Amino acid sequence: MTNLELVLTMLAETATTEISRVKDPKTFQESRVVASKGGSVARAARVEIEKQTGNYVVSPHNRRQLQSRKVDIERLSK
């Protein structure tokens, strides 16, 4: 996961929490709707970032792979 993916995940969680505070869902189905709305906020941000940069935000790599790759690149550049 890249930093941007982590930030968008945090955005979805925070948006869902705030929407939940306002809507105060009582049932599981109402909570599902709130969760979907929170995810939609992050999705809209992801789509806009991809449109502006021309690059995909979602990476097939996990954090460990990215960190080891960064270390390898740093070693090669010295």
Per-residue pLDDT of 23-33, as tens digits, reads 999 999 999 99
CA 42 – CA 35 distance, rounded (Å): 11
pLDDT at 1: 75
CB-CB contact of 31 with 20 (8 Å): yes
Q: Which residue blocks in 1-78 are alpha helix, DSSP H?
A: 3-23, 28-53, 63-77
67 pLDDT band, cuts 50/70/90, is low
Give the domain extent around 18: 3-77
For the chain, the average pLDDT equals 85
User: Considering its fold, how many domains does the chain have in total?
Assistant: 1
